[in-house]
Structures are given as C-alpha cells and as structure tokens.
C-alpha cells in the first residue's frame, strides 16, 4: 500500500486545490470500503476547508465541525478533476469544491477509507499512535527506550505504529540496510549508537522519498497522474537474490511478520 511518503505527496498535491475552498457536497457511489462510510460524511455541505494535514498514513481535511479522514488503503489514490469529469468504475467518492473542481477517490480494491472525526474528539484510528518520524519527537533516546521493552525483531518494532508511525515495509528495509542492522536482530539488543544512526537514516530516507515524489508502486500515482521516482533508488527492497550494490554479496529475502524482508548478509552482519 502507499507508504508515508506517498501519502505526504498526495497531501502536497491536493492541498493547493482545497485550501480556501468550500466543500459543496460529497457524492458517494460505494459506501462499503474498508469500513462503511458514515452518514456524517454524506452530510458535509458548504463547509470551508481550514487545512489539510497528515497523521501517520491518514489524510485529514479540517472543517469547522471536524475532520474528514481519508486512508488510501492498498490501491487508493486521489485526483483533483473538473466536476464535469465522468466517473469511472472505481471512482467511489467525489468531494465537490467551490472552485468548480472535485477531489476524487479511486480505489480498485476498496481497502481505503473515508471517515469522520467530530470536532474536539479523536477517532479510534487516531489513538495510541507513535510520533511522526520526521518530527523531533522521534529521536534516538525515544527509540532506544521503546526497543528495550521488546525482544521481537527490530524491523517489526520499527514498523509498529505504537512506536513510530509511517515507517512501512519498503522504508524499513531500506533504513535497516543503510544503518547496517540485521532485520531479525532482537530490538532489545539495539545499542545507543545504532539507535542514533537508525533514526537519522529513517528521517533522511523518508524526506528524500517525499522530495522525489514517493515510491513508484503498481497502484500508486500522484494527483497529477505522474508516478513517483524514488523506487529507482531502492537499495534492497524488491532485490532479493540480486547483488548488493555495496559489497556484491547476494541479497537474501525472508518473511518477517508476513512481509517481504530483504537484507545483505555481509553489510548487515548476519552471524
């Protein structure tokens, strides 16, 4: 599914079109996405868009009465199109704007979500989330403290939204490789030096991915229809069995937490 950089790129893409506009109405063609779209979403009319933000992999459209929560799921993507644009088969939700355009959610597999969070409340999906990886709350001391309580593989801890949000499978693979840490290493064996390096690498990789437009995934395109470009620079993800760019050792591919995990036995110190 789209990872944090892809969601942030989507936010950057739609924000200029939504800012200072009013939502005239919301048209829903398919209410059964990952969760049933609530009546509150259908009732949004003539509300000004105050802001468009992101929390973890959720987009939040801020309105006076609350926030519209959008999750792209495995195959969802957003586009801003003229209101006269005919709907295609998997165009499930249209948010009509006062500028004559509409924000359209297309979701082939219907694993995305459009939900509502009333003002001054917190939707259950928004609770118990860890810090944002690109902000100051995510730092080495915090990561080290979280890892000391866990004996599970460091890759699984890095992908745990209770520890830090938005470090999905692709970027966890990449970060651990660049930090020289084996993905199966028990988290409670992480050293202070490794934690410092891992936090630094995570921030660098995610920031670079956002700058370059998100990773090219089969089901992802930006709001203007152009794919992202960062996938061309992935060092290990999707390269199991190929040679490591750094040492030419054959990259190994295993399963951790039901997710593909690729690493270099030489660079990541496999015993």
Q: Look at residue 136 and tell me whether its pLDDT is greater than 90.
A: yes
Q: Is 90 annotated as a binding residue?
A: yes
pTM over the 0.75 mark: yes
Residue 100 lies in a domain: yes
In the block, tokens 């297309």 appear at: 106
Same domain, 120 and 231: no
pLDDT of residue 75: 84
For this structure, is 3 an active site residue? yes
**For residue 201, what is the domain's CATH number?**
1.10.8.50
Q: Is 11 annotated as a binding residue?
A: no
Q: For residue 133, what pLDDT is reported?
A: 97
| 144 shares its domain with 186 | yes
Tokens for 174, please give them.
């990449």
57 is catalytic: yes
Q: Are residues 226 and 259 in the same domain?
A: yes
Query: Does 131 reside within a domain?
Result: no
Report pLDDT for 124.
95
| Catalytic residue chosen out of the listed positions 57, 79, 104, 155 | 57
Catalytic residue of the set 31, 239, 252, 259: 259
Residue in 2, 5, 133, 183 annotated catalytic: 2
120 and 159 inside one domain: no
Q: With 80 as the cut, is the pLDDT of residue 139 above it?
A: yes
Based on the fold, state whether residues 144 and 30 are members of the same structural domain.
no
183-198 pLDDT tens trace: 999 999 999 999 999 9
> Taking the CB of residue 126, how many other CB atoms lie within 10 A of it?
16
- Which domain, by its residues, includes 189? 140-263
Residue 61 has pLDDT above 70, yes or no: yes
Amino acid 217: pLDDT? 47
- Confidence at residue 1, expressed as pLDDT on a 0 to 100 scale: 63
How does pLDDT run across 201-258, given as a tens digit for each residue? 999 999 988 887 755 444 445 566 555 545 557 899 999 999 999 999 999 999 999 9
Q: How many domains does the chain have?
A: 2
């Amino acid at each position: 599914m789209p990872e944090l950089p892809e969601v942030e790129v989507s936010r950057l893409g739609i924000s200029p079109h939504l800012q200072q506009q009013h939502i005239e109405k919301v048209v829903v063609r398919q209410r059964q996405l990952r969760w049933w779209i609530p009546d509150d979403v259908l009732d949004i009319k003539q509300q000004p868009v105050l802001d468009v933000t992101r929390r973890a992999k959720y987009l939040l459209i801020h309105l006076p009465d609350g926030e519209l929560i959008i999750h792209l799921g495995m195959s969802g993507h957003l586009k801003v199109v003229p209101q006269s644009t005919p709907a295609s088969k998997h165009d499930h939700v249209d948010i009509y704007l006062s500028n004559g355009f509409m924000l359209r959610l297309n979701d082939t597999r219907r694993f995305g979500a459009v939900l509502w969070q009333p003002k001054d409340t917190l939707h259950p999906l928004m609770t118990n989330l860890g810090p944002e990886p690109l902000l100051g709350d995510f730092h080495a001391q915090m990561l080290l403290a979280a890892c000391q309580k866990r004996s599970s593989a460091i890759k699984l801890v890095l992908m745990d939204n209770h520890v830090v949000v938005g470090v999905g499978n692709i970027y966890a693979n990449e970060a651990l490789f660049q930090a020289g840490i084996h993905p199966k290493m028990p988290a409670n064996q992480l050293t202070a030096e490794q934690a410092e390096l891992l936090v630094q690498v995570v921030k660098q990789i995610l920031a670079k991915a956002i700058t370059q437009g998100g990773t090219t995934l089969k089901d992802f395109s930006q709001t203007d229809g152009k794919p992202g470009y960062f996938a061309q620079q992935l060092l290990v993800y999707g390269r199991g069995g190929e040679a490591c760019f750094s040492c030419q050792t054959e990259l190994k591919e295993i399963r951790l937490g039901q997710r593909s995990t690729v690493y270099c036995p030489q660079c990541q110190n496999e015993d």
